[in-house]
Amino acid sequence: MTHSIDIEALNQQIHIDSAFVERLNAETAKVIVGQHQMVERLLLGLLTRGHVLLEGLPGLAKTLAIKTLSRAIDAKFSRIQFTPDLLPADIIGTMIYNPSKNEFSVRKGPIFANFVLADEINRAPAKVQSALLEAMQERQVTIGNETFKLDEPFLVLATQNPIEQEGTYPLPEAQVDRFMLKVKITYPNKEEEREIIRRNLTGDFEKISPVVKPDEIIKARESVRKVYMDEKIEKYILDIVFATRSPADYQLKNLALLINYGGSPRASIALALASKAHAFIQRRGYVIPEDVRSVCHDVLRHRIGLTYEAEAENVTQEDIINQVLNSVEVP
């Protein structure tokens, strides 16, 4: 009986701790029309210390979304436009020689911010991509002999355009795995687009006010980890990830020829954390299967490798995840 009381108390606590989510949603909605999923996924990344890779066509408010979120959270924002001639020093910073003092001083790069937008990450060469990914993983940057810790919260939002192949350097699989979520952005519906046109024609844009302090986000991260996850949900997450590795064990023999490699242990960790954060955003103190299913595509779509057969048959990662979710038993 104490078990259920604990859950009830936890549920009330999480409901209090997550109160800022509604304030944040209301504030971002002043500027961003639709795209609720994108804003929610950015928040998921923030609450789990995970980074987000956004894939979508130009003009779908990717830059606007992260800019708006950083203003609403009263955090520092910087945008880096990735180009083929970019150097690692352009991102992390460099040593500058000062002749009057006869010494070198550090000039910090745009990576020193809370929100970093890496626009069109696949346009820069591998050396630049790896400099950014090291900062994402280690949350620190080394310039010369000095190592600098990056400020928290620290979120990298990288965008890539799915249709352009010329002059791009695709991210290697191992580096893509560093992103907790890969979110696909789609077009707005007619009603949303009508609203977008009207706002742009009248120039009627509301100002965004900071409604959340960075400290609140850091405190909320601790609450996210406290969200209760039952053993049955843990087993459900493991079954989903293992079904991508050995589909034959889950009556999915047809997928064996389509999957080159499945989700890594990083996928299991990310799926569990993202499910907890999703429950937190829904202002609930415990995880339900719907939380797992809701974040599953974003966590797994960049962690499943397709074989040539799959590409020849036009089978996508989405199709494979759908089949896995339809066949793995829901607790």
Q: Where along the chain do the CATH 1.10.8.80 domains lie?
A: 227-327
How far is the C-alpha of 154 from the C-alpha of 140, rounded, in Å?
Answer: 10
Instruction: Please list the rounded mean pLDDT of every run of 10 residues in the chain (331 residues).
Output: 62 79 82 78 88 82 79 85 87 84 83 88 82 83 84 86 65 79 84 82 76 85 88 92 88 85 90 93 89 92 88 88 88 82
pLDDT at 164: 58
Check whether the bond before 172 is cis (ω within 30° of 0): no
Q: What is the pLDDT of residue 168?
A: 65
Q: What one-character DSSP code corresponds to residue 155?
A: E
Q: Identify the CATH number of the domain defined by range 31-203.
A: 3.40.50.300
3-class DSSP assignment, residue 63: helix
What one-letter code names the amino acid at 256? A
Residues sharing a CB contact under 8 Å with residue 197, sequence separation 6 or more, in sequence order:
none
CA distance 220 to 153: 11
Distance (Å, rounded) from C-alpha 187 to C-alpha 197?
Answer: 14
The pTM of the full predicted model, rounded to 2 decimals, is: 0.85
Confidence (pLDDT) at 130: 79
Q: Looking at residue 70, what is its pLDDT?
A: 81
| pLDDT value of position 1 | 32
* Portions of the chain given CATH number 3.40.50.300: 31-203
Q: Which H or E run contains 95?
A: strand 93-98
- Separation of CA 22 from chain center: 20
Query: Please, what's the largest Cα pairwise distance for the chain?
Result: 73
Beta-carbon contacts of 22 under 8 Å, excluding residues fewer than 6 positions away, are none
Q: CA-to-CA distance for 141 and 90, rounded, in angstroms?
A: 13
Angle between helices 36-48 and 19-28 (to 10 degrees): 140
Q: Nearest CA to 140 among 132, 76, 186, 42?
A: 132
| Per-residue pLDDT, 204 | 67
Q: How far is the C-alpha of 264 from the C-alpha of 257, rounded, in Å?
A: 18
Asked if residue 187 lies in contact with residue 194, where contact means CB atoms within 8 angstroms, the answer is: no
What is the domain class of 227-327 according to CATH? Answer: mainly alpha
